[in-house]
Structure 1
Amino acid sequence: MKKGNGKLRANFSEYPFSQNSLLSFSPYEPFMLNATEPLSGLVINFHPDFFCIHKHHKEVACHGVLFNNIYAPPLINIDKGTEGNIEMIISQIQIELQKPALAQYELLISYLKIFLITASRLKTEQQADAQKVTAENEEPFILQNLKNYIETHYKTKHTASDYADMLSITPKALTKLTKVHYHKTLTDLISERIIIEAKRELYLTNKNIKEIAYELGYNDEYYFSRFFKKNTEVSPQLYRETIGFDKASSL
């Protein structure tokens, strides 16, 4: 986002944004921009078949940072020191796209990797700085435990009360904490973690939807499909057909 400001609605939450912001979204991640003035920006849009962040997360470190992070806003501020580097990378991508040549795919992948690594580093730094602002706003220890519990049990425990019981706190009190620190309800956090794994399975494997649903703790395939569509606005089958997956590497 090069010019303008407003509010971003995404992942059940609302965040302010301004010029020199970078917004990052996964395929079929609903979002809305409510602008207070005219916007000017640029979109880098790539399909997982071109470069899959799930497969290459160790190379670029953007999975769980720029994308699929249920605890942080999907945006970062581009500082002056990084702005020039990003502009240069984007310029090289644009030049390369205009004139197909030898090893174009490999070169575009390289530029994209540099872009993602640069953005991931910046977001990681900003998150670390934000956590040091004041002791009053430090993430409570109970939320650190909550994140660990969600990561460990999201396939078998799907309700807010499940996690509240494990932490010996009421669901209402725990949700109040998650809304203050993550701008999301506890139910939202659980749902998003399940959806991230469902998308990964739909893209990277050739398991049928019933099997994926069962592995995520849903005995009813149709209930799972309704849950998926409610959170992504598309069915699991349409997601798979549209985004695609590499059967050869899954066998």
Structure 2
Amino acid sequence: MNQFKQFAFKKFGYTTFGQPAFEAMPAFDSFVKVAYLKAGSSAVVDFKEYQLEQDALFFISPGQFTHFDEASQGTLLYYNRDFYCVEIHDKEVACDGILFHNVYDIPVVYLSPENTQAMETIVTELKAEFEQQDSTMEEMLRILLKSIIIKATRIWKQQHQVTTEEIRQEVEFSRKFSQLVEWHYTQHHTVAEYADLLNMTPKALNKRITRYSNTTPNDIIKNRIILEAKRLLVHTSLSVKEIGYKLGYDDSSYFIRLFTSQTSASPQNFRLKYQQAI
């Protein structure tokens, strides 16, 4: 089943995995997506494969590489930023840098049976709302979407053992760094530049990030740049030189060496591999 509503510039819809709509999956690329997948489903998100042994939620921003196995079961919610923007409403849901724009890891939230039941209730209510002919539909759909995001953020924090004030402060700092990298990775490539934005020394930033992580700030910055390069190689016809320039590298030879050292494949070979797979 596929349902779609447009309120002026605001767009929101859902579709069921395995339906014919998924034959045109690229049509969803421009939307923010929340994928609710049942156990046994398979997915590839930003070139990482998932074989789900339990129900899960994926939070996917426009431009992320996604592929769902045709046998997957669940529901895909999709909407544009005019309908709901997590950056603007960050104080309400506090998920930016966690569920969306997370430069540390792909945002996936695994659900316990109790959490699955709660999400099923919300998704069922959301689908029922599409059948209503009422002027309040838009706001009710937004409320239900926010409920999913808030509950998923709470589950993520529980799963990452955010239980003390000290850990909460560290999560908030990591979230802030994640947001800064997401906003500036095409212009700022060094730890020192981000340390300046945070009014601290590079050494202090490195110590703060590695306190609860095995990844250094430099690795995080480079990983985000390479991830965007992968997306552009797969989703666009831009040349390698154009992609390098778009990511802030005037020297295409340096960019190619960086990409190859990080992925063990040249940009052209990486593009060819995924174009053949799609």
Q: Does the 8 Å CA contact 1:51/1:109 hold for their aligned counterparts?
A: yes
Q: Distance in 2 between matches of 1:98 and 1:158?
A: 49
CA RMSD of aligned residues (A): 4.4
| Partner in structure 2 of residue 17 of structure 1 | 52
Structure 1 counterpart SS, 2:161: helix
Shift of 1:30: 1.5
Aligned: 1:223 with 2:245: yes
Aligned: 1:158 with 2:189: yes
Aligned: 1:40 with 2:73: yes
Comparing 152-161 with 22-31, greater Cα deviation is found at 152-161
* Corresponding pairs, count: 175
Gaps of 5+ in 2: 1-36, 163-169, 195-201, 205-209, 229-241, 250-278
C-alpha distance 7-99 of structure 1, shift in aligned 2 (>3 A): closer
Residue 55 of structure 1 aligns with an amino acid whose one-letter code is I
| Partner in structure 2 of residue 85 of structure 1 | 118
TM-score (norm 1): 0.55
Correspondent of 2:139 among 96, 101, 106 = 106
Q: Which has the higher contact order (CA 8 A, sep 6+)?
A: 1
C-alpha distance 61-148 of structure 1, shift in aligned 2 (>3 A): closer
Q: Distance in 2 between matches of 1:56 and 1:39?
A: 31
| Partner in structure 2 of residue 51 of structure 1 | 84
CA-to-aligned-CA distance 1:187-211 (integer Å, 9 cap, x gap): 1135669xxxxxxxxxxxxxxxxxx
Q: Distance in 2 between matches of 1:86 and 1:150?
A: 27
Correspondent of 1:29 among 61, 64, 69 = 64
Shift of 1:71: 0.9
Q: Does the 8 Å CA contact 2:56/2:108 hold for their aligned counterparts?
A: yes
Once the two structures are superposed, the pairs formed by residues 1-251 of structure 1 within 5 Å of their partners are: 1-6=37-42, 8-10=44-46, 13-33=48-68, 38-128=71-161, 151=180, 157-158=188-189, 166-167=202-203, 178=215, 187-189=222-224, 223-224=245-246
Structure having the larger proportion of residues in strand: 2
Comparing 61-70 with 1-10, greater Cα deviation is found at 1-10
Structure having the larger proportion of residues in helix: 1
CA-to-aligned-CA distance 1:4-58 (integer Å, 9 cap, x gap): 1445341x5455533301111011211234x5x9321111111111111111111
C-alpha distance 149-86 of structure 1, shift in aligned 2 (>3 A): closer
Shift of 1:162: 8.2
Q: Does the 8 Å CA contact 1:150/1:190 hold for their aligned counterparts?
A: no
Q: Does the 8 Å CA contact 1:8/1:15 hold for their aligned counterparts?
A: yes
Q: Does the 8 Å CA contact 1:8/1:17 hold for their aligned counterparts?
A: no
Shift of 1:221: 11
C-alpha distance 75-221 of structure 1, shift in aligned 2 (>3 A): closer
CA-to-aligned-CA distance 1:57-82 (integer Å, 9 cap, x gap): 11112211111111133211111221
Q: Distance in 1 between matches of 2:121 and 2:64?
A: 28
Q: Does the 8 Å CA contact 1:4/1:39 hold for their aligned counterparts?
A: yes
Identity %: 27
Q: Distance in 2 between matches of 1:24 and 1:44?
A: 10
Q: Does the 8 Å CA contact 1:3/1:41 hold for their aligned counterparts?
A: no
Structure 2 counterpart SS, 1:44: strand
Q: Distance in 2 between matches of 1:7 and 1:42?
A: 13
Q: Does the 8 Å CA contact 2:104/2:220 hold for their aligned counterparts?
A: no
Q: Distance in 2 between matches of 1:62 and 1:94?
A: 23
Q: Does the 8 Å CA contact 1:21/1:78 hold for their aligned counterparts?
A: yes
Q: Does the 8 Å CA contact 1:62/1:116 hold for their aligned counterparts?
A: yes
